[in-house]
A and B are shown apart, each in its own frame.
Chain A
Amino acid sequence: MTQSRWARRAATDAAMTWLCGLAVAVTLVPLVSLLWMVVARGASALSWSFLTSLPKPVGEVGGGVGNGIIGSALLLGLAATIGLPVGIGAGLFLAARGDGTAGRTVRFLAEILAGVPSVVAGLAVYALLVRPMHRFSALAGSLALAILMVPMLARGTEETVRMVPRDLFEASLGLGVAEWKSGLLIVARTAAGGITTAVCLALARAAGETAPLLFTALGNQFWNLRPDQPTASLPVLIFNYAVSPYPDWQKQAWGAALLLLVLVGVLNAAARLATRGRFAGGGR
């Protein structure tokens, strides 16, 4: 009697362990095969001129994605300039005053914004900025990316700031330090590692976005550093090259995809490093 029950439990245990392993495999196989495919096909496209030169017209061999790399950097830089103050500011507000009506409203709106499909953010910026300016521009692309970053930043900031023990805030107040200074220079500084993580994750997300850039930053065959001009970017370049019928372009799409993957990987690694060793929550 007890022996058969024991055997049944052991069998269930083995089956469940096996199913969990299967779930892990099902998750990892597409990821690993995708990484492998990008690396295998992209690596052959990489060269110094691929990184530094402009695209060549159809029919000519060679050319690179240098303008896409610079363009992505410009877009991310501008998006961070717009998005970081707003997103981190909103997060700090939610952590400090998030329990009132204003706080609940802001949190609700941020959650909705987080659920907005990225293509819709692009459409909104198209109506808000591209139509009035009569021109696609890096600024418009950055604004669309910033809109996607803000809710991620706000949530990440609020969560890490809330993890800082209230003791520290009170300790600072007890020294005769004003509330806003205590919040910013003690509490937010203690949470700086976590906020850096949120920034890296938001940038990684923005770096890979394609849809909101299609009708805002558009794309550009040439170098551009001006915010008011259309700008090339790695994701849009990948999109255009990948759907083209030319084998040489398709190969370059793989190369650009590998570059983008490395960039996002570096940002994610930075996000992990920022919180390693020193935990924002204090304590021992």
Chain B
Amino acid sequence: MTAPSRPVVGVAALSAGFGDRTALRDVSLALEAHAVTAIIGPSGCGKSTLLRCLNRMHELGAGAWVRGRVTLDGDDLYGPDVDAVQVRRRIGMVFQRPNPFPTLSIRDNVAAGLDLNGFARAERDDRVEAALKQAALWNEVADRLNRSALALSGGQQQRLCIARALAVEPEVLLMDEPASALDPIATARVEELIHELKDRLTLIVVTHNMQQAARISTRTAFLYMGELVEYDRTEALFTNPKERRTEDYVTGKFG
């Protein structure tokens, strides 16, 4: 495995699970800044757990535990005086199913993170517009910002959720199978968006779709049964895997 050029998120000896069940076993990897890292693996391999450990969402589940170290730009995210809420402000998240706030308008959805965190109202509209433009949604919704977010199509809703996450200007954006609930055209748009966003921030995308991982990512991590099997440049991992299990998985022999 070649070392990433400029690591921003560091994971060291990370194990996590619920109660006596271990979902993630001793995972270590360094994630490159301003790149897209894909996390692939069969269902139940721990890829979502890994993602949710990075912004301290995992610990919200009943009986959840985490061991090991996660750093962001050198800061220990599980340090004794670190507030999980502050971590989530630096590391945003987009979920599998589009989940706009149903009672809020399109504008208020994008501004929700700003409003709830007490940001100044003055630059609100500018930041909403900027976030919607970054999420490639501005042209479609500029004339109906006050309409309900539920009036949008599924793909638009997901880009709205991406805009909502971008509005608070996180350093890292986690995406948990962001296109798996979308049709092929909406999926293509989200993938295109991921490609554009990596100039702005660091993206980590969980996907069970290997073609998608190959299309969007610079590096790919393959997880199996809670362990990190292989982590390499995407091209190398797909064309010349070093591990037998990786080769079997990417060639479709199991999973």
Q: How long is the Cα–Cα vector from A177 to B62 in the complex, in angstroms?
A: 20
- The reply to whether A175 and B101 form a contact with Cβ atoms under 8 Å apart is no
Contact with A along B82-94 (1 / 0, CB 8 A): 0001111110111
Q: Does A233 sit within 8 A of B, measured CB to CB? A: no
A169 closest partner in B (C-beta): B60
CB distance from A95 to the nearest CB of B (A): 15
Q: Does A186 sit within 8 A of B, measured CB to CB? A: yes
CB distance from A195 to the nearest CB of B (A): 12
- The reply to whether A177 and B116 form a contact with Cβ atoms under 8 Å apart is yes
Q: Does B159 sit within 8 A of A, measured CB to CB? A: no
- The reply to whether A174 and B103 form a contact with Cβ atoms under 8 Å apart is no
B103, B113, B161, B168: the one contacting A278 at CB < 8 Å is: B103
Chain B residues near A278 (CB-CB < 8 A): 102-103
- The reply to whether A175 and B95 form a contact with Cβ atoms under 8 Å apart is no
| Residues 261 to 275 of chain A near chain B (Cβ within 8 Å) | none
Chain B residues near A177 (CB-CB < 8 A): 85, 88, 113, 116-117
Q: How long is the Cα–Cα vector from A192 to B102 in the complex, in angstroms?
A: 12
Q: How long is the Cα–Cα vector from A283 to B99 in the complex, in angstroms?
A: 9
Q: Does B112 sit within 8 A of A, measured CB to CB? A: yes
A167, A176, A179 — which one has the most chain B CB atoms within 10 A of its CB?
A176
Q: Does B164 sit within 8 A of A, measured CB to CB? A: yes
B56 closest partner in A (C-beta): A173
Q: Does B165 sit within 8 A of A, measured CB to CB? A: yes
Q: Does B97 sit within 8 A of A, measured CB to CB? A: yes
Q: Give the interface size bracket for A toward B.
A: 20 to 34
Q: Does A190 sit within 8 A of B, measured CB to CB? A: yes
Q: How long is the Cα–Cα vector from A283 to B102 in the complex, in angstroms?
A: 8
- The reply to whether A181 and B116 form a contact with Cβ atoms under 8 Å apart is yes
Chain A residues near B150 (CB-CB < 8 A): 282, 284
- The reply to whether A174 and B116 form a contact with Cβ atoms under 8 Å apart is no
- The reply to whether A175 and B168 form a contact with Cβ atoms under 8 Å apart is yes
Q: How long is the Cα–Cα vector from A283 to B98 in the complex, in angstroms?
A: 10
Q: Does A189 sit within 8 A of B, measured CB to CB? A: yes
Q: How long is the Cα–Cα vector from A177 to B88 in the complex, in angstroms?
A: 8
Contact with B along A143-180 (1 / 0, CB 8 A): 00000000000000000000001011011111111110
Q: How long is the Cα–Cα vector from A176 to B133 in the complex, in angstroms?
A: 22
B88, B94, B95: the one contacting A176 at CB < 8 Å is: B88
Chain A residues near B161 (CB-CB < 8 A): 171
Q: Does B234 sit within 8 A of A, measured CB to CB? A: no
Q: Does B250 sit within 8 A of A, measured CB to CB? A: no
B57, B62, B101: the one contacting A174 at CB < 8 Å is: B57
Main secondary structure on chain A at its contact with chain B? Answer: helix
- The reply to whether B92 and A171 form a contact with Cβ atoms under 8 Å apart is no
- The reply to whether A174 and B93 form a contact with Cβ atoms under 8 Å apart is yes
A178, A179, A181, A186: the one contacting B101 at CB < 8 Å is: A186
- The reply to whether B116 and A172 form a contact with Cβ atoms under 8 Å apart is yes
Q: How long is the Cα–Cα vector from A170 to B55 in the complex, in angstroms?
A: 12
Contact with B along A184-201 (1 / 0, CB 8 A): 011001101000000000
- The reply to whether A176 and B101 form a contact with Cβ atoms under 8 Å apart is no
A184 closest partner in B (C-beta): B116
B86, B89, B99: the one contacting A168 at CB < 8 Å is: B99
CB distance from B159 to the nearest CB of A (A): 14
A165, A170, A176, A189: the one contacting B113 at CB < 8 Å is: A176
Chain A residues near B86 (CB-CB < 8 A): 176
- The reply to whether B89 and A173 form a contact with Cβ atoms under 8 Å apart is no
Q: How long is the Cα–Cα vector from A10 to B168 in the complex, in angstroms?
A: 66
Also in contact, A168 and B165, with CB within 8 A (given A176-B86, A181-B116): no
Chain B residues near A185 (CB-CB < 8 A): 116
Chain A residues near B94 (CB-CB < 8 A): 174
Q: How long is the Cα–Cα vector from A250 to B59 in the complex, in angstroms?
A: 66
- The reply to whether A190 and B113 form a contact with Cβ atoms under 8 Å apart is no
- The reply to whether A175 and B165 form a contact with Cβ atoms under 8 Å apart is yes
CB distance from B128 to the nearest CB of A (A): 14
Q: How long is the Cα–Cα vector from A172 to B165 in the complex, in angstroms?
A: 10
A99, A173, A181, A282: the one contacting B102 at CB < 8 Å is: A282
B55 closest partner in A (C-beta): A174
Chain A residues near B87 (CB-CB < 8 A): 176
B89 closest partner in A (C-beta): A176
What is B's interface to A at a CB cutoff of 8 Å?
Answer: 55, 57, 60, 62, 85-90, 92-95, 97, 99, 101-103, 112-113, 116-117, 150, 161, 164-165, 168, 170
Question: Apart from A171-B93, A189-B103, what are 8 other A-B pairs with CB-CB below 8 Å?
Answer: A170-B60, A173-B88, A174-B93, A174-B165, A175-B92, A175-B165, A176-B117, A186-B116
A-B contacts, 25 of them at CB < 8 A, read: A170-B57, A170-B99, A171-B93, A171-B101, A171-B164, A172-B112, A173-B60, A173-B88, A174-B55, A174-B92, A174-B94, A175-B92, A175-B113, A175-B117, A175-B164, A176-B86, A176-B113, A176-B170, A177-B85, A177-B116, A178-B85, A185-B116, A186-B112, A190-B102, A192-B103
Top 8 nearest A-B pairs (CB, nearest first) are: A176-B89, A175-B113, A174-B93, A167-B99, A282-B102, A176-B88, A177-B116, A171-B99
